[in-house]
Chain A
Amino acid sequence: MAEAGRSLKSFYLLLGGIAVVGIVLILHAALGGKAPPIVMAECGGPPLGGVAPRGVVAGPDSAPVSINEYADFECPACARFAVLTMPDVLQRLVPTGKLRWQFLDFPLNQHANSPLAHITAACGAAQGKFWEMSYTLYAHQDDWFADKDPEGKFLSYARAAGLDADSLKVCIDQRRPWPQIEANRCSGEKLHVDGTPTFFVNGRQLAGIPAYDDIARIVDSVAAARAAGARR
Chain B
Amino acid sequence: MRHRMASAALALVGVMVSVYLLLYKLGIVGTIKCVGSGGCERVNTSAWSTIGGVPVAAFGVAGYLVLLGIAMYGLRPDQAERPQATRWLAALSALGVLFSLYLLALELFVIHAVCVWCSVSGVTILALFLVAAGGLRSARRAPSP
Contact = CB atoms under 8 A, between A and B. Distances in A.
B60 to A, nearest CB: 14
Contact of A146 (B1, B27, B41): B27
B85 to A, nearest CB: 15
A34 B26 CA distance: 17
Nearest to B30: A149
A108 interface: no
A156 B38 contact: yes
B5 interface: yes
B38 A26 contact: no
B9 A29 contact: no
A22 interface: yes
Contacts of A8: 75
B23 interface: yes
Contacts of B41: 152-153, 155-156, 159
B129 to A, nearest CB: 19
B123 interface: no
A147 B27 contact: yes
Q: From DSSP, what is the main secondary structure of chain A's interface residues?
A: helix
Contact of A11 (B5, B20, B31, B33): B5
Interface residue tally on B, bucketed by range: 20 to 34
A155 B38 contact: yes
B24 A152 contact: yes
B115 to A, nearest CB: 11
A156 B42 contact: yes
A150 interface: yes
Contacts of A19: 12, 16
A169 interface: yes
A149 B31 CA distance: 8
B142 interface: no
Interface string B13-32: 10110011001101111111
A228 interface: no
21 contacts: A11-B5, A18-B9, A18-B13, A19-B12, A25-B16, A26-B16, A26-B19, A26-B23, A26-B29, A29-B32, A144-B27, A147-B27, A147-B28, A148-B28, A149-B30, A150-B30, A152-B32, A152-B45, A156-B41, A159-B37, A159-B38
Given A147-B27, A165-B37, 5 more contacts: A18-B16, A29-B23, A29-B32, A29-B33, A148-B26
Interface of A: 4, 7-8, 11, 14-15, 18-19, 22-23, 25-26, 29-30, 34, 143-144, 146-153, 155-157, 159-160, 165-166, 169
